Structure 1
Amino acid sequence: MHNKSFPRTFSHIGISVPDLAAAVTFYTEVMGWYEIMAPATVTEDDSAIGVMCNDVFGPGWGSFKIAHLATGDKIGIELFEFPNAENPADNFEFWKTGVFHFSVQDPDVEGLVEKILAAGGKQRMPIRYYYPGEKPYRMVYMEDPFGNIVEIYSHSYELTYSSGAY
């Protein structure tokens, strides 16, 4: 008997930023996400969260700032500001193992592009159609003002790929 498990749901993503206050403003005002836990400082100590962070970061991490946001579909966003944050000139090393972008869905791709640009983000490519002349499914790669790569889809992931985009 085949014992296939069901697909897991997505819980949250952690994003490092060089300026937590500016990131909270950008992600709440431009992306429309909700602040569910105001910015706080976590310090290396023997509290429950301090011990968890010791497990994750190892000893000597010191402290960091964190805020918790949520998307309209209840996905959590943890924003981290570490004291020794490095902001690379180009954060798009897609050939390296690891997450190199996250994606949001907005039927008004063009409008969200303009909002991101107005907030100091960058557009990495023109808006493109997956099925030109056939379906209105569009996408574009952007950067938030902190260099994190954000892809925008006009339609759901399932709709976009169910016809076989390539």
Structure 2
Amino acid sequence: MKMNHIGLFVGDMDKAIEFYTQALGLRLIMGNTKIEEERQTAIGKMCIAVFGEGFKGFNIAHMVTTDGIGVELFEMKERAERHDVDFSRLGIFHFCLQTDDFEGVIAKTEKLGGKVRMDIMRYHPEDDSRPYKMVYLEDPFGNLFELYSHTYEETYSSEYE
């Protein structure tokens, strides 16, 4: 199994594209595209199946990470202004990106309207040979994401001890 893409709700497509390209370094592969609620096309039928009757339409953009994982941005016509994380509900609550420019991404996140949710943490502070860092951030719309300095496998696998 390979990861293919994630989809995120955003409140302002232009601001979202700027944030995800400038702060996080994603590459835009399909710009802001308007989707209307309709039943004539395959995409229209699929959207009604996913969002239900009356979703009215949305804007969508497609981006990719440097390792080819897709990120779909959805700006719904009718929406809340900000995503509030409800930790009492089941479901996905964050995604994680890895970077070699850890502090730079944090600074760009804040500069472009995102937030740092915690102090930077080291997973193995007692082991200087494992300088793996992480931090939780959020985009300008309240979507949580985690930032890692090393791979998931390096961070958690006992093979790297």
1:133 matched to 2:122? no
Q: Segments of 4+ in structure 1 off by > 2 A? A: 90-95
Secondary structure, aligned partner of 2:25:
coil
User: 1:17 Cα shift?
Assistant: 0.4
Secondary structure, aligned partner of 1:158:
helix
CA distance in 1, matches of 2:52, 2:106: 39
User: 1:160 Cα shift?
Assistant: 0.3
Residues 87 and 147 in structure 1, CA contact (< 8 A), matched pair in contact too: no
1:105 matched to 2:98? yes
Other-structure match for 2:5? 12
Q: Give the AA of the match of 2:32.
A: P
Q: Give the AA of the match of 1:142.
A: L
Normalization by structure 2: what TM-score?
0.91
Other-structure match for 1:84? 78
Identity rate of aligned residues, in percent?
A: 47
User: 1:112 Cα shift?
Assistant: 1.0
Aligned pairs for 1:67-82 (under 5 A) are 67-82=61-76
CA distance in 2, matches of 1:28, 1:108: 15
1:121 matched to 2:114? yes
Secondary structure, aligned partner of 2:46:
helix
User: 1:42 Cα shift?
Assistant: 0.5
Measured against aligned partners, the alpha-carbon deviations of 1:2-24 in whole angstroms (never above 9, x if no partner) come to xxxxxx10111000001011101
Other-structure match for 1:63? 57
User: 1:93 Cα shift?
Assistant: 2.2
| Match 2:88 to one of 82, 95, 100 | 95
Q: Give the AA of the match of 2:24.
A: M
Normalization by structure 1: what TM-score?
0.89
Q: Give the AA of the match of 1:107.
A: D
Aligned pairs for 1:144-163 (under 5 A) are 144-163=139-158
User: 1:133 Cα shift?
Assistant: 3.2
Q: Give the AA of the match of 2:21.
A: T
CA distance in 2, matches of 1:95, 1:77: 25
User: 1:60 Cα shift?
Assistant: 1.8
Unaligned runs of 5+ in 1: 1-7
Size of the alignment, in residue pairs? 156
CA distance in 1, matches of 2:46, 2:61: 17
Unaligned runs of 5+ in 2: none
